[in-house]
Amino acid sequence: MGYQHRPATPADLPAIVDIYNAAVAARTSTCDLDPITVESRRAWLDQAQHPIWVAHTDDEPDTVTGYLSFEPFLNGRPGYDVTVDLAIYLHPGHHGRGQGRYLLGEAVAHAPKLGARTIATTIFASNEPSLRLFRSYGFEEWGRLPAVAELDGVAKDVVFVGKRL
């Protein structure tokens, strides 16, 4: 199965929110504890400083199966403009099928066009599939923050990974 991507539109927000809320419920990739709403994500999309992409399969171009966002690094302070923070979320039915690999490859290729010289992100230490994916693209562990998050009474370590472009 092949994947493609395109810029996200307001019509994609329900699918984006469903995918994100599945991650909230799974407790594997976000520190949000409660589901979000389409309305709460509208400003995020409308005011994005960097691209937000939705992914779809070659055979179902109208079905959003994942999304990627390039985010300002550390609250967007201007000195950090050479670094982008990357977020990738996949529909649960598309985990382990190559979509994350596709999106990350496209992001690494596109980031220099945004003026980025570095890509960085945080991943739960317990999320080995995501850590493996990022390592396969040359991302290195730049730090580990022990027990900085707690989800349902479970302490979570966060791994800070990055790649110079």
Evaluated on CA atoms 25, 27, 32, 34, the torsion sign reads: positive
**pLDDT tens digit sequence for 81-131:** 999 999 999 999 999 999 999 999 999 999 999 999 999 999 999 999 999
Please report, for the domain that includes residue 24, its CATH number.
Answer: 3.40.630.30
Q: What angle do CA 47, 51, 54 make, to 5 degrees?
A: 110
In a domain, 121, yes or no: no
pLDDT band at 135 (very low <50, low <70, confident <90, very high): very high
pLDDT for 1 beyond 80:
no
d(CA 32, CA 47): 20
Kindly indicate the confidence band of residue 76, based on its pLDDT and cuts at 50, 70 and 90.
Answer: confident
* pLDDT band at residue 75 under the 50/70/90 scheme: confident
Write phi, then psi, for 89 (nearest 5 degrees): -130, 135
Residue 57 domain flag: yes
In a domain, 73, yes or no: yes
Whether 62 maps to a domain, the answer reads yes
Query: Has residue 165 been placed in a domain?
Result: no
Domain annotation covers residue 32:
yes
**Domain of 33?**
3-116
Number of domains in the chain: 1
Beta strands (DSSP E) in the chain are 3-7, 52-57, 66-72, 83-90, 118-124, 140-151, 154-164
Q: Would 144 be classed as within a structural domain?
A: no
